[in-house]
Amino acid sequence: MARREETDQEAAAPPTHRPATNVPVLGVGMVGYAFMGAAHSQGWRTAGHVFDLPMRPALAAICGRDRAAVDAAAARHGWAAAETDWRALIARDDVQLVDICTPGDSHAEIAIAALAAGKHVLCEKPLANTVAEAEAMTEAAERAAARGQVAMVGFNYRRVPAIAYARQLIAEGRIGTLRHVRAAYLQDWLVDPESPLTWRLERERAGSGALGDLGAHIVDLAQYLAGEPLVGVSAVSETFVRERPRLAGPSAGLSGAADTIARGAVTVDDAALFTGRLASGALASFEATRMAAGRKNALRLEINGERGSLAFDLERLNELSFHDHTEPAATAGFRRVLVTEPQHPYLEAWWPPGHALGYEHTFVHQARDLVRTIAEGAAPAPSFADGLQVQRVLAAVEESAEKNSVHTPVVL
Ligand SMILES: NC(=O)c1ccc[n+]([C@@H]2O[C@H](COP(=O)([O-])OP(=O)(O)OC[C@H]3O[C@@H](n4cnc5c(N)ncnc54)[C@H](O)[C@@H]3O)[C@@H](O)[C@H]2O)c1
């Protein structure tokens, strides 16, 4: 459905695209059905109804460990079947792609088994809990790529149109040689010391805290936007609240409503701050915290180059700020670009200009890009190798923080 070919009147109508029925089906099997499970379900349900896709995603089966809960999730999110063991999900003939939406401690085992079974894989970020796991996953993905399989990491913020457009402007040289990347990802859901001890606060389940949860996103975005890797970092991190009430039942994700029992130890960071150097010599700074009172999902980026600057805030995700430093100084300045024009990335199939998109659209775009990558036999972006690179940065940050902020090279 190419909106630019339609009349103005037609362009004002909502997308009513019907998925083509003469294209092959891509059966999706998803593991996990809470926060990301709901978001990915929406992406898989919607992508083929908005974009012209060379394959039609079918929500074949969803997997969780509790029969009643996974059946309810299947009904709610539109999945045709439900499994209680991810191995059974992988073995299904109607599943060609396994979408992993579980905590980090299960990513490696599920992804490697799915790739060995000949399935494509989408794995949520961070790719793994350790560099060793991420290396094993990347090796499995590279072996599978030779058999035509695709493995992608769920760094969904690359699919915010304003961020994809910022990448285009940087690649076109519109801000020139990069000098600084300034990245912060600020949330506040752990400010309350009585906020419960969910899996996100346990090292064995989550790998790390704000660092792996939020820092992984901004490290990926910094490297994606700059088009080059970080080569070294200096870091500090802190766990401000070291004990929290433990949930009596399994975590219900971020909402976490359940009875609580005795307190347990928080074994991950609440906040991590670090500076770094990109391969070209540009400097970068990062701040990841779940303790920034009043900041709900403030992923902020500013990139300064010798010809201009770009700035972005996820809490205003339809906007990109652009300063062209080659313009006359008297009138130059940051301008607000509303990234909703049909020529902006992903916007060709959505609403008329100014009719804004939101968080959930990033998962629709992720599904679109992954389906096209599979159908075209193209290389995925971000690949498991990209996820491994981010994991190596996170490991260097942890090492530096442990060693009193000593500058620590990132293994390339
Ligand atoms: N891309 C993003 O913006 C984003 C946002 C939040 C979380 N995440 C990532 O997504 C992943 C999941 O996070 P979430 O917020 O959805 O967590 P969550 O706690 O909301 O959901 C986790 C789900 O995994 C299921 N699960 C756990 N172990 C399982 C197993 N062995 N077999 C089957 N199901 C199992 C749980 O039942 C639950 O349904 C994590 O890697 C997290 O870092 C990404």
Report the C-alpha gap between 188 and 200 in whole angstroms: 14
The tokens of 329 are what?
A: 């100084």
pLDDT of residue 258: 55
Listing DSSP states for 63-112 in one string gives E-S-HHHHHHHHHHHT-SEEESSHHHHHH-TT-SEEEE-S-GGGHHHHHH
Q: What is the CATH number of domain 3-156?
A: 3.40.50.720
Cβ(33) – ligand 1 distance below 6 Å: yes
The tokens of 311 are what?
A: 């700035």
Cβ(325) – ligand 1 distance below 6 Å: no
Which pTM value belongs to this model?
A: 0.94
The tokens of 379 are what?
A: 């290389």
- 104 CA: nearest ligand 1 atom: 41
- 102 CA: nearest ligand 1 atom: 24
Q: Which residue has the tokens 């990062």?
A: 286
Report the C-alpha gap between 96 and 274 in whole angstroms: 40
145 half-sphere exposure, CB direction, 13 A CA radius: 15
Total Cβ atoms within 10 A of residue 179: 15
Cβ(29) – ligand 1 distance below 6 Å: no
Average pLDDT over all residues of the chain: 94
For residue 22, name the pLDDT band (cuts at 50, 70, 90). Answer: confident
pLDDT tens figures, 268-301: 999 999 999 999 999 999 999 999 999 999 999 9
Query: Mean per-residue pLDDT for 316-342?
Result: 98
With a cut of 60, say whether residue 2 has pLDDT above it.
no
Cβ(214) – ligand 1 distance below 6 Å: no
Q: What is the CATH number of domain 160-409?
A: 3.30.360.10
Query: Mean per-residue pLDDT for 76-98?
Result: 98
Cβ(63) – ligand 1 distance below 6 Å: yes
pLDDT tens figures, 160-189: 999 999 999 999 999 999 999 999 999 999
Q: How far is the CA of 115 from the centre of ligand 1 (A)?
A: 20
Q: How far is the CA of 17 from the centre of ligand 1 (A)?
A: 31
- Residue ID of nearest Cα to ligand 1 atom 25: 32
Q: Mapping DSSP to helix (H, G, I), strand (E, B) and coil, where does residue 199 land?
A: helix
Percent of all residues in the chain with a pLDDT value above 90, rounded to a whole number: 90
- 33 CA: nearest ligand 1 atom: 39
pLDDT of residue 412: 81
408 has which bridge partners?
Answer: 233
Q: For the chain, which residues make up each domain, given as ranges? A: 3-156, 160-409
